[in-house]
Chains A and B, each alone.
Chain A
Amino acid sequence: MTRPEMADEALFLLLHNEMVSGLYRAAEQGEGENGRCITKLENMGFRVGQGLIERFTKDTARFKDELDIMKFICKDFWTTVFKKQIDNLRTNHQGIYVLQDNKFRLLTQMSAGKQYLEYAPKYLAFTCGLIRGGLSNLGIKSIVTAEVSAMPACKFQVMIQKI
């Protein structure tokens, strides 16, 4: 385990946490419209996802189909961003995919059970946008939502929209 790698992980985690609290603080001081923060976070994740995917797929081979793209997201993409793979991918083969991560990196610091459960959605919005942005750049329109029942495990549900 090399030192530079460890600093790399912590940097993104801490920056992300600050981003979430910073946005909410700014919203409170502003007009107090709390509902827009989640959308802002998701849109941030969207733009970051677009750029990230461009960089990561620069050297990979061409994708065969939708399932290939989802597998890439679960393995390579997740490993590069969160240093681990998605633990479980389920699909109904009709455009709905559920990605399950049993130890989501952005939530492990928070709690190991039900404590702080109501704050979890704020910390998942950025990652939802990340997935949506990555998929959109690969040509897939989707809606991504996340749910947490017991930290730090969480599920991301991807609904592909057929145009």
Chain B
Amino acid sequence: MAVCIAVIAKENYPLYIRSIPTENELKFHYTVHTSLDVVDEKISAMGKALVDQRELYLGLLYPTEDYKVYGYMTNSKVKFVMVVDSSNTALRDNEIRSMFRKLHNSYTDVMCNPFYNPGDCIHSRAFDNMVTSMMMQVC
């Protein structure tokens, strides 16, 4: 279960960003912003590092004391950033990958929606519902 999910366009502005309602949502926005630098580093290091350069999943971008940030970049240079709670140790790599796949599938559906102009913010309710199902349930 994620704490914050963001979709960033290829020009590096957010198309969609949603976090669980806490007092300090700005902190999540900031975390996502700084993670973009790490994404760029990973992409440019593809030739030299041991990272599998053919995969879209980027893995753990960086851990902070409370949270872990994961990244995924599609072939169309759209980035998905997911922030999860560090205390949630039950989440495995495979689960994160499958969450990203679901995000990618929903994003593709949004792209093919004739009422969506590429580059606009995402307002689709179907996408919202899918993201809600992945966020942590906080009462």
Q: Which residues of A contact B111 (CB under 8 A)?
A: 50-51, 54-55
With contact pairs A60-B75, A139-B10, A139-B76 given, residues A54 and B54 touching in the complex (Cβ less than 8 Å): no
Contact A57 B74 (CB under 8 A): yes
**Is the C-beta of A162 less than 8 angstroms from some C-beta in chain B?**
no
Q: Which residues of A contact B56 (CB under 8 A)?
A: 61-62
With contact pairs A54-B108, A55-B112 given, residues A62 and B55 touching in the complex (Cβ less than 8 Å): yes
Residue on A nearest B78 in the bound complex, by CB: A54
Q: Which residues of A contact B108 (CB under 8 A)?
A: 54-55, 58
Q: How far is the CA of A139 from the CA of B74 in the complex (A)?
A: 11
Q: How far is the CA of A62 from the CA of B44 in the complex (A)?
A: 13
Q: How far is the CA of A137 from the CA of B76 in the complex (A)?
A: 5
CB distance from A113 to the nearest CB of B (A): 38
| Most chain A beta-carbon contacts within 10 A, residue among B10, B74, B107 | B74
Q: Is the interface of A mostly helix, strand, loop or mixed?
A: loop
Residue on A nearest B118 in the bound complex, by CB: A50
Q: How far is the CA of A39 from the CA of B32 in the complex (A)?
A: 39
**Is the C-beta of B105 less than 8 angstroms from some C-beta in chain A?**
yes
Contact A137 B118 (CB under 8 A): yes
**Is the C-beta of B18 less than 8 angstroms from some C-beta in chain A?**
no
**Is the C-beta of A12 less than 8 angstroms from some C-beta in chain B?**
no
Contact A53 B53 (CB under 8 A): no
Q: Which residues of B contact A55 (CB under 8 A)?
A: 108, 111-112
Residue on B nearest A52 in the bound complex, by CB: B112
CB distance from A130 to the nearest CB of B (A): 14
| CB neighbors of A among B18-70 (8 A) | 46, 53-56
A interface with B by C-beta (< 8 Å): 47, 50-51, 53-55, 57-58, 60-64, 137-139
Known A-B contacts: A62-B56, A63-B75. Give 13 more (CB < 8 A): A51-B111, A51-B112, A54-B111, A57-B75, A57-B76, A62-B46, A62-B55, A62-B73, A62-B75, A137-B76, A137-B118, A138-B75, A139-B77
Report, nearest first, the 7 A-B pairs whose CB atoms are least far apart: A61-B54, A57-B75, A54-B111, A51-B112, A137-B76, A54-B108, A51-B111
